[in-house]
Amino acid sequence: MGKVGMEPHKPWLELYRYWLGKHAGGRPPSRRDLDPPLEIPRLIPRLMLVEVIAGEFQYRLVGSEVARYLATNVTGQAVGASAWAPEKVSAEWRRMLELVRDKQQPQMAITLPSPGNQHRGFCLALPLAGDDGATAQIMIAVFSERSGFGSKELEGIEVFEFTA
């Protein structure tokens, strides 16, 4: 799909602008630079925080809307430890996290609904830098009209670099 810009009324644009506004010297913000409960409280239920630990990923925080969408709460689990999605979805999800970690560029994922489920979901993943400048965490927002089914019904997800 390539680089895609989004329309101003899209809900993930608020998070993107918030994250972009916290950049310092061209570097992504760190977790301590952000205060979502005070600065973007309405997005809290849609947020996830994934920690990068020795190159691997672990769910550190999962908002209530995300847990409802996944039909499970993966807080504290390693990415891939839970079967909330088919392998092809899990593999793309992991690829997205790796791209964000390695390139320090926002990535967007769009769900590809399966027959009988025409609801699309959108996910914006943003890098958060550690003290050394490398990606230490990834902040993710999930926007979907459907909940309670996880990603088991999805045909797949399509990942692309996000630009506004």
The DSSP annotation for 8-47 comes to TT-THHHHHHHHHHT-BTTBPPPGGG--HHHHSGGGGGGE
Q: Could you tell me the fold of the domain covering 12-32+44-161? A: Beta-Lactamase (3.30.450)
Q: Give residue-wise pLDDT tens across range 66-116.
A: 888 777 788 888 887 766 666 777 888 899 999 999 999 999 988 766 655
What's the mean pLDDT when you consider all of the chain? 81
pLDDT score recorded for residue 5: 42
pTM, two decimals, is: 0.83
149: buried, middle or exposed (CB in 10 Å: 19+, 13-18, 0-12)? middle
Q: Give residue-wise pLDDT tens across range 10-34.
A: 778 889 999 999 998 889 999 999 9
Q: Give residue-wise pLDDT tens across range 135-152.
A: 999 999 988 766 545 555
Using the predicted structure, report yes or no on whether residue 2 has a pLDDT greater than 50.
no
Using the predicted structure, report yes or no on whether residue 6 has a pLDDT greater than 70.
no
How many Å apart are CA 32 and CA 37, to the nearest integer?
A: 13
Residue 57 confidence class, pLDDT cut points 50, 70, 90: very high
pLDDT score recorded for residue 1: 37
Using the predicted structure, report yes or no on whether residue 63 has a pLDDT greater than 60.
yes
Using the predicted structure, report yes or no on whether residue 120 has a pLDDT greater than 50.
yes
